[in-house]
Amino acid sequence: MEFRNGELGIIPGAMGATSYLVRGLGNPESFHSSSHGAGRNFSRTRAKSNFPMEEVLQDLNEHNIAIGKKNLQDVAEESRFAYKNIDEVMNNQTDLVETIKTLSTLGVVKG
C-alpha cells in the first residue's frame, strides 16, 4: 500500500488476527509503501488440508470471535494460521508506518 507522509490507512490482519490503523511516514526508500497485510504462509489448498474446519472454528470461539458464514467448508483458507504473524510484520516496518491504533477482531463475515 502506498502511504505518503501523514497519510492514514488500515492494514488488516487475517481472520481472527489484529488489524492496524496507521499513518504513513513517507519513506522514499520503500517508494512510500508498506505491506498491505501479513502475507500467506500457506496456499488456500494447503491451509484447508493443514487446518481442519473444526479447529479454526474452535480457535475463533475461544477468542469470542463471531463468524457470519453459511458454508464453513472453506473457512480454513482465511484462518489466521494460514498467514504470517501480522504483529511481526508490523514490527518490521516501523520505518514505513506509525501505528495509531491496534484493533482486535470481534467478528468475521466471509462470502
- Residues serving a catalytic function are 36
Q: Which three cell numbers stand for residue 99?
A: 501505528
Point out which residues pair with 2 in neighbouring strands: 33
76, with CB counted inside 10 A (0-12, 13-18, 19+), is buried
Helix (H) or strand (E) holding 61: helix 53-62
Going 95 to 5 to 21 to 30, the CA torsion angle's sign is negative
